[in-house]
A = this chain, B = another copy of it.
Amino acid sequence: MSAQPAVAAAPPTARFRPPAVPKVSVSGFWGDRVDAVADRTADILYERCVAAGMLDQIDPDRPVPALRIPFHVTDGFTASTVTTQMFWDSDLGKTIETAAYCLYRKPNPELEAKIDAVIAMFEKLQQEDGYCSSWYIRMQPGKRWTNLRDCHELYCAGHLIEGAVAYYQATGKRALLDVMIRYADHIDRTFGPKPGQKRGYCGHEEIELALVRLARVTGEPRYMDLAKFFIDERGRQPHYFDAEARARGADPADFHFKTYEYNQSHLPVREQDKVVGHAVRAMYLYSGMADIATEYGDPTLRTALDRLWDDLNAKRLYVTGGLGPSADNEGFTADYDLPNETAYAETCAAVGLVFWASRMLGMGPNRRYADVMERALYNGAISGLSLDGSLFFYENPLESRGGHNRWVWHRCPCCPPNIGRMVASIGSYMYGEAEGEAAVHVYGASHATLDIGGGRTVRLTQETNYPWEGAVRVTVDVDAPTRFALSLRIPGWCRKATLSVAGITVDLAAVTVDGYARIDREWRAGDTVDLALEMAVERIYAHPEVRADAGRVALQRGPLLYTLEGIDNPVALNRIRLPDGAGFTASFEPDLLGGVTTLAATAEADATAGWNGDLYRTERPARQAAPIKAVPYYAWDNRAPGEMLVWLRGG
């Protein structure tokens, strides 16, 4: 056995796909997160959807509910009041999808029976011609396909398709999948370039990536082509939404959000070079574009996607991986506009960024995308779910005076099932598989079974205490000696990494392609790869044009962004200044926040003594030593409400 891997002169050319969810089982950090979803969130999602009246809307055996009747959703402590919404099919779709992934983790016959009953409602709801939107069948009959711009009709179809695919894969039950195949066929007849077909597309993207999943599970290329059609049509002139508005007797100029940048239809997608509009919509569109770029090998889409990726990463991404600073459009604003306290940074947008980044990896392992995926996963996405899996954030600010706290539900409950399904399917983001290729994108204790083509299967076991420690051992298991390339990401945050294969150190520089160490060799069962990633506390500075972060510093260790909470720090957080020389101690605290590594240092705080009732004075505030303690950002607001601050004074 040769311990020296072959050197990769060029990146792999194969198309990578994520492994299906059941092929990866996670433990450690992500195991805890998945357990919280499987043990609590999945049931909670179902119960709160029911409490919100969603089944009243979709079940044809019930009376049609009145519009705007309030439902009160509560966990006994906090409450949220909601009314009937046109996008509820999507929330049920994501709830079904979350439940499906959780069934791999642990059986839940009660929940499965409830989901089966919901699916039976959709079966009964579906029209003769395959149409299956509960809103337009029951709430606004006769209006179908008249307002793609505003009414989430294809978006709802997309989420139900994703739920159907996941539930079929988890349970083998085809009922919802068959409903959605009929619905997709109906959509495929309704939309397209042929005479009599509509050349429209949805104001809220989602159907595109869902049709790709449907095509992959059914092997039906029509669905892939339809996804491509929706992407190709978007933003063309004459503008579909203009014509559609006029057909409704409306003035196209009366669009609430004023600009078609809001739904990324201001230009054909290949001409777009700025990340604009509603953040979740943008992420879902780019995810679909990336799938189509991979599936059709379309370089024009890839060029556009890389331009958009650069724009996002250079000018409009929070250090948490959150995105979309403004509540007004739930999305993007000016270059470098990244306010911390008022950050919208919707949980769904960070989840959407994970979707986009993971799909960019379909074109080959590349740290450029995977580093950002990791940043969003470990920080701005999972911050949206409480540690126990029962409470949620919609907005994920980077600063709070204490009034931003988790809630039980939302009038627009998109985030809870979105973070639920992402966490429950985490394994599929951690790995990639392709012909002759296996990739580890995200580290975490886990076991994966990957298909490397030609009927060959590779089993990888990751042993690691990541993200708390940077040592990762990957053990390979194959039925027989097998040649394939194993690509392991060397994270951009890591200043010093060492890699050994079967105990022999590898020259990392020689094997690194696009930020991945690519070990192309004949592997035997029991071969080990040891990766040691130095994990220092790093001070992060923002580009000087980010006005909110000027003169400030954030703390990161490994993939985790840190924050200060009032409960750990006795002085008002903005009084604290981190001196240049302050050294940090990282300590794992098993009893804190489910077990986290905290960072401690001695900083300075502006002293309030000696102010004598003055609000302003000409003498600079004195400074006093102040011990500080930081916790991982994702874990904030899981104790008593209080202040929170990511960007400390000290830049």
3 closest A-B pairs by CB: A544-B606, A547-B574, A550-B574
Taking a contact as CB atoms under 8 Å apart, the answer to whether A541 and B619 are in contact is: yes
Whether a CB of chain B sits under 8 angstroms from the CB of A588 is no
Whether a CB of chain B sits under 8 angstroms from the CB of A349 is no
Whether a CB of chain B sits under 8 angstroms from the CB of A120 is no
Least CB distance, A569 to chain B, in whole angstroms: 14
Taking a contact as CB atoms under 8 Å apart, the answer to whether B543 and A572 are in contact is: no
Taking a contact as CB atoms under 8 Å apart, the answer to whether A615 and B315 are in contact is: yes
* A539-B618 contact in complex given A547-B572, A608-B544, C-beta closer than 8 Å: yes
Taking a contact as CB atoms under 8 Å apart, the answer to whether A540 and B617 are in contact is: yes
Of residues 537 through 571 on chain A, the ones whose CB sits less than 8 Å from some CB of chain B are 538-547, 550-551, 554
Whether a CB of chain B sits under 8 angstroms from the CB of A605 is yes
* A607-B544 contact in complex given A574-B550, A651-B620, C-beta closer than 8 Å: yes
Kindly list chain B residues whose C-beta atoms are within 8 Å of the C-beta of A554.
616
Kindly list chain B residues whose C-beta atoms are within 8 Å of the C-beta of A619.
541
Least CB distance, A374 to chain B, in whole angstroms: 14
Of residues 596 through 651 on chain A, the ones whose CB sits less than 8 Å from some CB of chain B are 605-608, 611, 613-621, 649, 651
Taking a contact as CB atoms under 8 Å apart, the answer to whether B541 and A618 are in contact is: yes
Kindly list chain B residues whose C-beta atoms are within 8 Å of the C-beta of A649.
550-551
Kindly list chain B residues whose C-beta atoms are within 8 Å of the C-beta of A613.
310, 313-314
A575 and B548 CA atoms in complex are apart in Å by 10
Least CB distance, A336 to chain B, in whole angstroms: 8
A519 and B404 CA atoms in complex are apart in Å by 57
Taking a contact as CB atoms under 8 Å apart, the answer to whether A616 and B541 are in contact is: yes
From A401, A572, A607, A608, name the one whose CB has the most chain B CB atoms within 10 angstroms: A572
Taking a contact as CB atoms under 8 Å apart, the answer to whether B574 and A313 are in contact is: no
Whether a CB of chain B sits under 8 angstroms from the CB of A319 is yes
Residue of B538, B539, B575 near A550 (CB, 8 A) is B575
Kindly list chain B residues whose C-beta atoms are within 8 Å of the C-beta of A544.
572, 575, 605-608, 611, 621
Residue on B nearest A613 in the bound complex, by CB:
B314
Kindly list chain B residues whose C-beta atoms are within 8 Å of the C-beta of A542.
615-616
A-B contact pairs, 11 of them (CB 8 A): A313-B613, A314-B613, A334-B401, A539-B618, A542-B616, A543-B615, A543-B621, A544-B575, A544-B608, A545-B575, A550-B575
